A and B are shown apart, each in its own frame.
Chain A
Amino acid sequence: MTNPLHYDHLPYIAGAYGLFFGATIWFTLAARNRLASVTRRLRAADPRAKNNGVSPS
């Protein structure tokens, strides 16, 4: 296994991977929070709506 600290062009590689992981984490958290928020509001608006907003029928 190679040591990444010894890579040539390390700042470019770190920048690219940082952007990728940053964007992935941001989009994942945004989707998760949006889903949790709408589920909570849906349950508050209609107590019968359970199972993540899926109608029991």
Chain B
Amino acid sequence: MDYSTAISDRKLPEERSGPKPQRRSLHRFANPGRFLRLAARVQPWITWPALALTAAGLFWGLFLSPADYQQGDAVRIMYIHVPCAWLAMAGYSGLAFASFMSLVWRHPLADMAAAEIGPVGAAASALCLATGSLWGKPMWGAWWVWDARLTSMLVLFFLYCGHIMLIRAFDDTERGARAGAILAMVGVVNLPIIHFSVQWWNTLHQGNSIGLTGSNTMDGRMLWPLFLSALGCTFGFAALVSARLRAAVMERRLRGLLMAQAERAA
């Protein structure tokens, strides 16, 4: 639904229809007004932990953790490279989930969430590629190799870019959102390819060092700063997306207001 034509007063369509029984589902939080109230309240609780955890993790990783016995100090790039990779993949999962919500329930907040996750996720994947390149040069002697892990991550970056461009490529924003949602859903197939690429193919990129089943091959003095940094970056990603989404909801409301004022004046 396009708010710019639907709004005739200050409230969004979801807010205008009188009191409804509160459903205990995700739809409750998809109401833009309720989202704005909730997000404004939650924002400091995710922003400050993001800053504190990232600062602690990066300080620990940069100054206190030991150098690697093979890679030397270049291993310290890991404390930003791995969180960026994790965020690029988790962000795409969020983008795909929002796209699914948009396709199934046609909710405009899901469209807006997908549109706002896109640029932040693209930046995370670009940072992952760039920091990986800066790590690869001293270790492999090359800025780039057409390795399965690197190539699949590059495909993820292109998927983000494609989504960003596609949703803006149509005059009808709803059509653009639907096309972007389909691309996002199709692109999900790339996530397991990225994760398992180091197992499925013989790659120059190292295998997984961290496993959920306790198969860690990393020393605790490196694992903990990495964990803190990744957690802090996750909070930071959530804080950024939440702030962008709040701004997007308010921009849409503003467009509706200005449209209504112009109609009244005409």
Which residues of A approach B to under 8 Å, CB–CB?
Answer: 1-2, 4, 7-10, 12-13, 15-17, 19-20, 23-24, 27-28, 31-32, 34-35, 38-39, 41-42, 45-46, 48-49, 51-55, 57
- Interface of B toward A, CB cutoff 8 Å: 10-11, 15, 33, 36-37, 40, 58, 62-64, 67, 72-74, 76-77, 80-81, 84, 120, 123, 126-127, 130-131, 134-135, 137-138, 236, 240, 243-244, 246-247, 249-251, 253-254, 257-258, 261
Separation of A57 and B73 alpha carbons in the complex (Å): 56
Measured in the bound complex, the distance between the Cα atoms of B58 and A39 in whole Å is 34
CB pair B63–A15 under 8 Å, yes or no, is no
Shortest CB distance A29–B (Å): 11
User: Are B33 and A54 in contact, with the CB atoms below 8 A?
Assistant: yes
In the complex, number of A-B residue pairs with CB atoms less than 8 Å apart: 109
Q: Which of A1, A45, A46 contacts B64 (CB 8 A)?
A: A1
A6 → chain B closest CB, angstroms? 9
A1 with B63, Cβ < 8 A, contacts A34-B244, A42-B254 known: yes
Decide: A9 and B254 in contact? CB cutoff 8 A: no
Contact of A9 among B40, B138, B236, B246 (CB under 8 A): B138
Main secondary structure of the interface of B (DSSP, over half): helix
Main secondary structure of the interface of A (DSSP, over half): helix
Query: Which residues of A sit under 8 angstroms from B63, Cβ to Cβ?
Result: 1-2, 4
CB-based contact A38/B80 at 8 Å: no
**From A8, A23, A52, A54, contact of B123 by CB (8 A):** A23
Chain A residues within 8 Å of B135, by CB: 12, 16
| A-B CB contact pairs (8 Å), 23 listed | A1-B63, A7-B76, A8-B73, A13-B134, A16-B80, A16-B134, A17-B58, A20-B131, A23-B126, A24-B236, A31-B243, A34-B244, A34-B247, A38-B250, A38-B251, A38-B254, A41-B254, A42-B250, A42-B253, A42-B257, A45-B254, A55-B10, A57-B11
